[in-house]
Amino acid sequence: MSQKTRVCVIGAGVVGLSSAVRIQDELPHCDVTLLADRFSPDTTSDGSSGIWLLHLVGGVSQDLLRRWSGDTWDHLVSMATSPLAAQVGAQLVSGYSFFSEPQNPEWRTQVLGYRDLDRQEIDLLLPKAKFGVFYTTVMINVKAYLSWLMSRFKQNNGKVIRAKVDKLEQLMSKWKFDVIVNCTGIGARELTGDNDVIPIRGQVSRVKAPWIKHFMTYQESDEHCEKYIFPGADYVVLGGTGQRGDWNTSIDDVDRKKIWDGCLQMIPSLREAEVVQHWVGLRPHRSSGVRLETGKLPTGKTVVHNYGHGGSGVTLHWGCAGQVVKEIRAVTTSAVSRL
């Protein structure tokens, strides 16, 4: 019996966990270990709204974005329309996006029922907006989804190590892995010396408002980030901010009030909502785009990078995990063929 390829996935957010699970599912010759210094509920992914929408991701070709986001769409919709939906909080959700300038997003053909709003609809819902659209997308409870992924990973004999890694070479010398998958998000800046990785600070509030059934977003031309209201399975997420280069992970009261006031302008009944949580996370943005490629360490061992998803980690995660599988398959297959 041939020895299995020892793969280590670094990072336990939605990108790392999904990569680990897909490697297990599709590459049975691999023995997978998940290594991270933070696990759910303490990852950046845990604070995500969990909605499928391309947001704050740049530098990636439309073909790749469509492929990765499309694979993720199919995966999430299949969960939302299955008995698994209750366990991971997956649901189809419809709503409205408003803008101060005309929009023609590439993803309009991927969501369901995308259409422009007429002036009467805009005046009824958000009169100050100049343009608006309606569509249906898919949403998950990210905490529940991460828990499900972790359970699936462990059931497939995945190993978990809690540790902080300062250098990728350290993994090879200490644990003797054959392949590393780098899903460290904002941590990739320090780990790999990639100064193209910068934080885009995101602050949100979560409230109890079960009467909110449709999402609503509003993007003004002079704002760094749209205001949004996303009704999830348990809470409604109110946001947000998009402060580039800001490493502050503390709650900012000015941002909190700005988010609250902006969301009240869209849906005044939120005034009656019970505030459950304020949260801050750092989106791992990369101006040159998601880094998803295979490289070599000085030791000659293989590393597959998968980071820099900005605010679209949930939207791209399953498709990017599929690309990681292809990268590892190509490397391990070529290695076997040389024997």
- Beta-strand pair 179-182/30-36: unpaired
Over residues 139-162, the mean pLDDT reads 97
Q: What is the pLDDT of residue 49?
A: 94
Over residues 284-307, the mean pLDDT reads 94
112: pLDDT strictly greater than 60: yes
Lowest mean pLDDT among 53-67, 133-147, 291-305: 53-67
Q: What is the pLDDT of residue 26?
A: 98
Over residues 146-163, the mean pLDDT reads 97
Over residues 233-246, the mean pLDDT reads 93
Convert the pLDDT of each residue in 122-135 to its tens digit.
Answer: 999 999 999 999 99
336: pLDDT strictly greater than 70: no
Q: Is 315 annotated as a binding residue?
A: yes
Measured CA to CA, the distance from residue 266 to residue 238 in angstroms comes to: 11
Q: Is 289 annotated as a binding residue?
A: no
Q: Is 311 annotated as a binding residue?
A: yes
Q: Is 50 annotated as a binding residue?
A: no
43: pLDDT strictly greater than 90: yes
- pLDDT band (50, 70, 90) for residue 261: very high
Q: Is 45 annotated as a binding residue?
A: yes
Structure tokens of 299? 């030791």
- pLDDT band (50, 70, 90) for residue 248: very high
- pLDDT band (50, 70, 90) for residue 223: low
- Amino acid, res. 141: N
Measured CA to CA, the distance from residue 115 to residue 163 in angstroms comes to: 48
Q: Is 49 annotated as a binding residue?
A: no
Measured CA to CA, the distance from residue 338 to residue 74 in angstroms comes to: 36
Q: What is the pLDDT of residue 338?
A: 47
Neighbours of 251 (CB within 10 A): 13
Q: Is 310 annotated as a binding residue?
A: yes
pTM for the whole thing?
A: 0.94
Q: What is the pLDDT of residue 169?
A: 83
Q: 3-state DSSP call for residue 179? A: strand
CA dihedral 35, 38, 44, 48 (to 10 degrees): 90
Q: Is 313 annotated as a binding residue?
A: yes
Q: How is 242-311 classified by DSSP, letter by letter? A: -EET----SPPHHHHHHHHHHHHHH-GGGGGPEEEEEEEEEEEEETT--EEEEEE-TTS-EEEEEE--TT
- pLDDT band (50, 70, 90) for residue 335: low
Q: What is the pLDDT of residue 233?
A: 86
Q: Is 9 annotated as a binding residue?
A: no
More confidently predicted of 240 and 118: 118
Q: 3-state DSSP call for residue 51? A: strand
Quote the DSSP letter at residue 4.
P
Q: Domain 5-337 has what CATH class?
A: alpha beta
1: pLDDT strictly greater than 50: no
Residues 6+ apart with CB under 8 A from 90: 76, 79, 80, 84, 138, 139, 140, 141, 145
Q: Is 312 annotated as a binding residue?
A: yes
More confidently predicted of 230 and 338: 230
Q: 3-state DSSP call for residue 215? A: strand
The mean pLDDT of the chain is: 93
- pLDDT band (50, 70, 90) for residue 222: low
Cβ(30)–Cβ(24) under 8 Å? yes
Q: What is the pLDDT of residue 339?
A: 44
Q: How is 81-149 classified by DSSP, letter by letter? A: TSTTHHHHT-EEEEEEEEESS----GGGGTSEEEEEPPHHHHHHH-TT-SEEEEEEEEE--HHHHHHHH
Q: Is 184 annotated as a binding residue?
A: yes
Q: What is the pLDDT of residue 2?
A: 67
Residues 6+ apart with CB under 8 A from 3: none
68: pLDDT strictly greater than 80: yes
Polymer length in residues for the chain: 339
Q: What is the pLDDT of residue 220?
A: 81
246: pLDDT strictly greater than 60: yes
Domain boundaries, the chain: 5-337
